[in-house]
Structure 1
């Protein structure tokens, strides 16, 4: 008789292939229209954050954010602490997320949208929201003893009104107060009609 008991049977896998709600993230089955909109949001001695561009889909837009970190002469211990903060690891013992990287938008009609999802308050994430949604998805990152980089995709659903969009961000932990840049993304309503599905069915 074996010392270890047999593993319990694996549960049946759900064969349902239901699509993700479209307000969660940009559709992976669609080829968007890319709008060049490079703007630096903030730059300090060690940290830089920029908007690289905007992807316009049929029912929303995705802003591509680039974040960069350079050592620039820091001692190793300080560098390790800085990279931890840059990769958004909470300091040991800290329970205050107030200094984290935050981003929001002001749309052409004055609507303010932040990355604080209403679902954090206990709403049903499967129920279609009756307001704009802005969700951030980190696209990985990495580096070495000299530099780190990471990227974020910000999905705004549904399509915003035509006109400029203000991008507002702050990162108090890394010494960046509230900053704002204005993007001219053009007529997103027209651009959205040119987004194409990868597959016809």
Structure 2
């Protein structure tokens, strides 16, 4: 079941959304201490740059490296993360694919979510960061990637349970998190339209109560 995540003025709703789709801003994470090649083709490698453990999730750093400069036009230049599939398999058997969730609703508290947080690059180097929440259950965690457009078959990287457990013990809460400040919508002031001109006639034809900016 999903509960509504409509853009409301409720501070509790905003806080819950923040916790599910972004790392907490009142914590110092602990490095899990793993990295390496997840998958590769003859000319491309997908790397795990590192993991950072927060009390309620994992921050995942990925990178794409290419042996040659891409041909033009190349769709990886036109679309962020084009063709790169990322997923996580948890120790309890549940699986989640990065970016495939409903942004119009808030997942249940125990439902795993893997959110793209950003990235970029170009040419031979690309980077991508993801946020997995809630914190994974005890046991190994498997990161799965594939990029058919670059010839990288489905590949897996296992993160050892002991490394995850050690990082969980050292993630530090800096201070209790203060409630989010609610910013209510403010109506913009009316546009100063010169009388008797083209803009006055154009705004008058709009299906509104008047020019609002």
Q: How does 1:55-134 map to 2 (within 5 A)?
A: 55-71=52-68, 79-81=71-73, 84-87=74-77, 89=79, 100-119=83-102, 123-125=104-106, 128-134=108-114
Provide the residue aligned with 2:46 in structure 1: 49
CA contact (8 A) 1:50 1:67 kept: yes
1:128 is displaced (CA, Å) by 4.8
For the residue of structure 1 that corresponds to 2:155, the secondary structure is strand
Q: Give the unaligned 5+ runs of structure 1.
A: 1-13, 73-77, 91-96
Superposition TM-score, scaled by structure 2 size:
0.65
Superposition TM-score, scaled by structure 1 size:
0.69
Sort the Cα spacing of 1:185 and 1:79 in 2 relative to 1 into closer, same or farther, 3 A.
Answer: farther
For the residue of structure 2 that corresponds to 1:182, the secondary structure is strand
1:190 is displaced (CA, Å) by 5.7
1:116 is displaced (CA, Å) by 4.3
1:150 is displaced (CA, Å) by 1.9
CA–CA distance in 2 between the matches of 1:119 and 1:129? 14
CA contact (8 A) 1:37 1:185 kept: no
Question: What is the root-mean-square deviation of aligned Cα atoms in Å?
Answer: 3.0
Q: How does 1:12-27 map to 2 (within 5 A)?
A: 19=15, 21-27=18-24
How many aligned positions are there? Answer: 166
Q: Deviations over 1:101-144 (max 9, x none)?
A: 11111111211111243316xx414x6554111112222223xx
Sort the Cα spacing of 1:194 and 1:179 in 2 relative to 1 into closer, same or farther, 3 A.
Answer: same
Sort the Cα spacing of 1:199 and 1:167 in 2 relative to 1 into closer, same or farther, 3 A.
Answer: same
Structure 1 consecutive aligned stretches of length 4 or more whose deviation exceeds 4 Å: 127-130, 198-201
Provide the residue aligned with 1:183 in structure 2: 159
CA–CA distance in 1 between the matches of 2:72 and 2:78? 12
Greater C-alpha radius of gyration:
2
For the residue of structure 1 that corresponds to 2:170, the secondary structure is coil
Provide the residue aligned with 2:116 in structure 1: 136
Q: Give the unaligned 5+ runs of structure 2.
A: 1-8, 178-213
CA contact (8 A) 1:60 1:158 kept: yes
For the residue of structure 2 that corresponds to 1:22, the secondary structure is helix
Greater strand proportion: 1
